[in-house]
Amino acid sequence: MPCLWWPKLAALAPSFLKPSGCFGRGEEMARRIVIIGANAAGVAAASFARRTDRKAEITLIEKDRYPGYSRCGLPFAIAGEIPSLDDLVLFKPEWFKGMRLDLRLETEAKRIDLQSRTVEIEDKSGKKEELSFDSLILCTGARAWMPPIEGRDKKGVFMLRTIDDARAIMEALKDAKKAVVIGAGAIGLEMAAAMREKGLEVTIVELLPHVLPVAVDEDVAKLLQDELEEHGVRLILGKPVKRIIGDEHVKAVEVDGEEIEADLILAATGVRANTELAAEAGLAICPATRAIRTDFRLRCLDGQRHRPVEGVYAAGDCAASIHMVTGLPALSQLGTTAVRMGKVAGINAAGGYATFPGVLGSFVTKVFGLEVGSTGITAEMAKRLGIDVVTGVATHVTKAEYYPGGKHIRVKLVVERATKRIVGGQVVGGEDVTQRINLLALAIQARMTVYDLANIRTAYAPPVADVWEPVVLAADVVARRLG
């Protein structure tokens, strides 16, 4: 569940979204919208559906007992940087009531019938009900996944996806001394830092050759690895966990013949899209991403003919999209992606018109004192895809060189050789990484060349920025290499 913090949506709906009636349905018949899932994508979908159709009957079905909370904040709440897990619940019951949304918590959608346009639901007491819909939005999200490692069912092995998961980990941390984190994606690194800050001995085991293997290249990862090791985190890279050792409770993990002691294990090995409902209903699942196939309006595709099913949409971690650089199917399980998909699905489900252009995977996180982010594709990914790229790196400072308190920052650009266009970027530094990732994302979306980027007119003031912007310096490096 690597993802970004997502804000409250109550004030985000633009003023030009005017209420619209249910076209052709008559004033007496309100549009019935059912949304399965009431987290990032589902809440965004409900918010924008309500602003598009003020009269619609909107029902949200959520299996969790908490609606609309930030999963991305869980590691930082565990670390104590956020005072309470309750602070992560961004949308209280009062908000749903004020928006006239029928929220059903601890309720599960059991079956979708596309012919009768109904959803069968069951609440925690076992009571079943059938809801009819004119529009359906699948925001079923994803679940934490762990490879079939021997011993993974022992006590002391945790995965982090929900507030209840976080509570269980926080309770276990009270007595834990040594921890092993399996997986070096964003959640793995954030949790390793959180546990190290609490005084645990921490080891990270990653199957691939470096940390953040999907988001950054090896040279950028090396800076992050140095930061982790400086803070006492042991790294074992390029090797799998063979088994988890212990009786009922974990005692160690075996890696390459070595037994590493641990009384707490966190499996941060990724998530898998929840697609069972969609597949059982006859909707198409993308083989490449194992997520629900959608079109440019986020309409689900029929599993037989692969044509859009009118009135049925998918958004968030369960929905496949297209990568804006490669044009290939992509699954960007980030909070920013979820709320933007939710917005598009909600508008369309309520009778409006919106499109989703695709994803870039723009990502940022902070581990100890170092921020790291990326957007577009890495040089390693470009090589796997057969895309000929040129890279350039610039290391500079975040303030004027003579101004106290400035921090080092490193920018790496990935540029397609043939077109000279920016196709990716990575930034790592002590501060101000996010604004540069956002700049590079805009450059990719605007199809800017490296020469365009080298000529942007940036701002300067000694306390906040140097006269030479590091992104421009990196663009200059690539431009020289291109000749």
Using DSSP, state whether 195 is helix, strand or coil.
helix
Using DSSP, state whether 291 is helix, strand or coil.
strand
By C-alpha distance, which of 22, 26, 25, 23 is closest to 54? 22
In angstroms, rounded to a whole number, what is the distance separating the alpha carbons of residues 202 and 210? Answer: 17
User: Is 72 a residue of the active site?
Assistant: yes
Q: Over the range 201-237, which residues count as b (16 or more CB within 10 Å of their CB) and which as e?
A: bbbbbbbbebbbbebbbeebbebbbebbeebebebbb
Q: What is the CA radius of gyration of the chain?
A: 23
H-type alpha helices, 350-449: 379-385, 433-445
Pull the structure tokens for residue 72.
């991305």
Annotated catalytic residue, options 22, 72, 286, 300: 72
By C-alpha distance, which of 187, 183, 185, 214 is closest to 377? 214
- Pairing between β-strand 118-123 and β-strand 107-113 as defined by DSSP bridges: antiparallel
In angstroms, rounded to a whole number, what is the distance separating the alpha carbons of residues 216 and 92? Answer: 36
Pull the structure tokens for residue 163.
């507030």
Q: Are 32 and 129 in contact (CB under 8 A)?
A: no
Burial of 326 (0-12, 13-18, 19+ CB in 10 A): middle
Q: What angle do CA 102, 106, 109 make, to 5 degrees?
A: 75
**Rounded to whole angstroms, what are the CA distances from 264 to 60, 75, 192, 224, 453?**
36, 15, 12, 23, 47
Q: Are 114 and 308 in contact (CB under 8 A)?
A: no
**Rounded to whole angstroms, what are the CA distances from 424 to 175, 325, 418?**
43, 9, 15
Q: How many beta carbons lie within 10 A of that of residue 403, not counting itself?
A: 15
- Pairing between β-strand 363-367 and β-strand 370-376 as defined by DSSP bridges: antiparallel
Find the helix or strand (DSSP H, E) in which 193 lies: helix 186-197
Active site residues: 72
